[in-house]
Amino acid sequence: MSLSGRLSTAIGLFVVAVALITWSLLAFLHPGQNGGYTDYTVGHAAGAPVNVEMQSVGAIGTGFGNHPTWVSYLQKDPTTGKWIHDTSMILPADTVVHMTVLNYDSGSPLRNQQWGQVQGTIGGTAMLNGKSFKVYNSYAGTGVGHTFAVPGLDVSVPMVGVNGNLPNICGQAPCGNLPHNTMTFSFKTGAPGSYNWQCFVPCGLGYLYGNGGPMSTFNYMGGFLKVVA
Ligand SMILES: [Cu+2]
């Protein structure tokens, strides 16, 4: 190969290497599809409540990243209405948040019965398919799959599982009309700050005590609420 040929090959390879490094750095710094936070403050009128819709699934599938078998939450983009693999949000302070979580995952008896209690919501209750409840007994019924808990706001709500023996359990998000339980509840964001939210049910199957993998990876079983003035 001529000198100019070798030189252009070397330059070409160098450009590819730089592009790959930049891409992996950006992917590492911004794991979410929207840069890690979905913004509910755009066009928000002061005092108006905010609606957040999420879904929890037993397996995220191949459309949302590198771990198709992991359990995960997803969030509905309030602008496009599309399900995105992004579990963090920017919310206005001192604002009522109406949460709707569609849980498509099966459940099991809880290791800690405290996780079956609804805490910190407005009225101290949540709705399971339209019926109000304060405590879910995970030894009866279909068990609990996950929790949506914000320790900094004392909020915790169990996500009641679907019957795992159903033939049409969702195997890949987003799950559409497949069997699910609809959990609705409301809470107030309070003062500006960064509040983590997480699932406390050790649902990371195949990981040490169920607490690795999706339980300890951004955008799966937890995220952040960035509350702004
Ligand atoms: Cu979980």
Rounded Cα distance, 77 and 84, in Å: 6
Mind listing the pLDDT tens digit for each residue in 90-147?
999 999 999 999 999 999 999 999 999 999 999 999 999 999 999 999 998 899 999 9
| 227 CA to centre of ligand 1 in angstroms | 23
User: Span 204-221, mean pLDDT?
Assistant: 94
Residue 51 contacts residue 78 (beta carbons within 8 Å): yes
Rounded Cα distance, 139 and 13, in Å: 59
| 64 CA to centre of ligand 1 in angstroms | 17
Decide if pLDDT at 27 tops 60. no
* Both structure tokens of 181: 């339980």
Rg (CA), the chain: 20
Q: Which residues surround ligand 1, an ion (CB under 5 A)?
A: 146, 199, 201, 203, 221
* φ/ψ of residue 144, rounded to 5: -120, 135
What band does 9 get if pLDDT is binned at 50, 70 and 90?
A: confident
| 95 CA to centre of ligand 1 in angstroms | 26
Q: Which among 148, 140, 141, 74 is positioned nearest to 115, based on CA atoms?
A: 148
| 27 CA to centre of ligand 1 in angstroms | 24
| 161 CA to centre of ligand 1 in angstroms | 11
Decide if pLDDT at 24 tops 90. no
| 195 CA to centre of ligand 1 in angstroms | 18
Q: What is the pLDDT of residue 113?
A: 94
Q: What is the pLDDT of residue 26?
A: 47
| 170 CA to centre of ligand 1 in angstroms | 16
Residue 201 contacts residue 211 (beta carbons within 8 Å): no
C-alpha separations of 43 from 75, 93, 155 in Å:
19, 14, 26
Residue 17 contacts residue 25 (beta carbons within 8 Å): no
| 220 CA to centre of ligand 1 in angstroms | 8
Rounded Cα distance, 8 and 35, in Å: 35
| 43 CA to centre of ligand 1 in angstroms | 32
Q: Tell me the β-bridge partners of 39.
A: 90
| 147 CA to centre of ligand 1 in angstroms | 6
